[in-house]
Amino acid sequence: MPCLSLACHSAGGVVAFAPFRLAGGRGSFATVKSLSVACIVAVAVGAAPPVVVRAQGDAAAPAPAVDPSWLQVDTVTKTVTFQLVAGLTGLNGALNFNGFRDGGLTLTVPLGWTVVTHFRNHDGMLPHSAEIIADTHPLPTGPVAPAFPRAFTLRLDQGLISEQTEDMRFIADRGGSYLIFCGVPGHGAAGMWIRLDVSGSLRTPSLVVTPAGKP
């Protein structure tokens, strides 16, 4: 269960609150919201704006590294196989793919290649799903029509429970930018998505940390 801390800056210094745990486990934001109100009240009486509320250690965690074993390439059959792991780390309350959130990881494949995605839910608490969707903002709050036929896991809205697996297999026959998105309501909009680019000029698939500044 995540442990959070809250602090407000006032004219006389910092008013610190002791760490607390979210009632109801991961994904319960009511406690955070109610404690945030205390900071808002402080601002109303002359204090400076409150600092951001975050899970302890979340922002301080080092940038995740790309594991080469996540990607296998067969140039003969023009097939790329990607290991997609939901909730690999505790980042963002485990609302991440392979330890990345908010588009921080980019899979690029050549136009016309077959993409096989081995999906696994590593999160011990929450269900998750995955689908390829158009790169659209604002992000949808739940599952939408996939960008490619069969580019989705079953039970998109319900998700797969801990350590369940499922494969997606589709042909990347349209170039452009797409999102690998968790369809469980609220998860994708909370940051559980990474990028898929389909390139007509690329000859070899790649999996890299998304360049800084990419929208």
The predicted pLDDT at position 145 comes to: 97
The predicted pLDDT at position 66 comes to: 97
User: Which residue type occupies 71?
Assistant: L
The predicted pLDDT at position 215 comes to: 65
Q: Is the pTM of the predicted complex or chain greater than 0.85?
A: no
Q: Which of 116, 130, 189, 177 is nearest to 158 (CA)?
A: 130
Give the full edge-to-edge strand order of the sheet including 54-55.
13-21, 3-10, 54-55
The predicted pLDDT at position 55 comes to: 37
Give the full edge-to-edge strand order of the sheet including 79-86.
71-74, 79-86, 114-121, 165-171
The predicted pLDDT at position 200 comes to: 96
> pLDDT per position in the chain (215 positions), as tens?
444 444 444 444 443 434 433 444 444 434 333 333 333 333 333 433 333 333 334 444 566 899 999 999 999 999 999 999 999 999 999 999 999 999 999 999 999 999 999 999 999 999 999 999 999 999 999 999 999 999 999 999 999 999 999 999 999 999 999 999 999 999 999 999 999 999 999 999 999 999 876 76
Q: Which of 166, 67, 177 is nearest to 117 (CA)?
A: 166
CA end-to-end distance (rounded Å), the chain = 32
Q: Which of 112, 110, 91, 113 is nearest to 100 (CA)?
A: 91
The predicted pLDDT at position 194 comes to: 98
138 upstream amide cis, omega within 30 of 0: yes
The predicted pLDDT at position 61 comes to: 56
Give the full edge-to-edge strand order of the sheet including 193-199.
131-134, 176-181, 193-199, 105-110, 206-209
The predicted pLDDT at position 211 comes to: 86
The predicted pLDDT at position 212 comes to: 78
3-state secondary structure the chain: CCEEEEEEEECCEEEEEEEEECCCCCCCCHHHHHHHHHHHHHHHCCCCCCCCCEECCCCCCCCCCCCHHHEEEECCCCEEEEEEEECCCCHHHHCCECCECCCCEEEEEECCCEEEEEEEECCCCCCECCEEEECCCCCCCCCCCCCCCCCECCCCCCCECCCCEEEEEEECCCCEEEEEECCCCCCCCCCCEEEEEEECCCCCCEEEECCCCCC
The predicted pLDDT at position 209 comes to: 96
